[in-house]
Structure 1
Amino acid sequence: MSLFRREDLHSLAAPYALDALEPPERVRFQKHLRDCDRCAAEVRALTEDAVRLAWSTTA
């Protein structure tokens, strides 16, 4: 399991949105998301972008 300092958690928004985190990192980031509006907004935006990209490649 990787050990992250609090500020490093912000760099996990993209891998979290793409479901690319190991389970322990995912749980730790989910806890961080509860209190970090910046990361929550970034995850929402990245998730929306991923959905748009998936739809554009399907069409």
Structure 2
Amino acid sequence: MSLLDRLSRRGDPHSLAAPYALDALEPAERVRFEKHLRSCARCTAEVRDLAEDAVRLAWSTAAPAPAALRDRVMAAVRTTPQEPAPREPARARATQL
């Protein structure tokens, strides 16, 4: 049994704030927690803070690519044999338009 299953089985909706902020709840749990959020200022504030922290963590790990990376990738693309694209029947192409 997963941690999330154990938390939700306890019946304490407050324990679902972190998984909710990380979009890790099942649809039924999400609906139940969103109903709880309408009347719980504590969980609303916790979800807001956790979501902001998740964004900060994501941005803190982002780093600009090295300057020569694009050139190296393009050089590798030019020298790497590519498989031809599969041919689609004309009928299939016409229905996609």
**TM-score, reference length from structure 2:** 0.54
Higher relative contact order (CA 8 A, sep 6+): 1
Higher share of residues assigned helix: 1
1:10 is aligned to 2:6: no
Unaligned runs of 5+ in 1: none
Aligned to 1:23: 27
Runs of 4+ in 1 over 2 A off after TM superposition: 2-5
1:35 to 32, 39, 62: 39
Which residue in 2 is equivalent to 1:48?
Answer: 52
Q: Which residue of 1 aligns with 2:61?
A: 57
Rounded to whole Å, the distance in 2 between the matches of 1:3 and 1:27 is 15
Shift of 1:24: 0.0
Instruction: Give the aligned residue type for 1:17.
Output: A
- Sequence identity of aligned pairs in percent? 79
Structure with the greater alpha carbon radius of gyration: 2
Aligned length: 56
- TM-score, normalised to structure 1, is 0.88
Distance 2:39 2:17 in 1: 14
What CA RMSD, in Å, does the superposition of the two structures yield over aligned residues?
Answer: 1.4
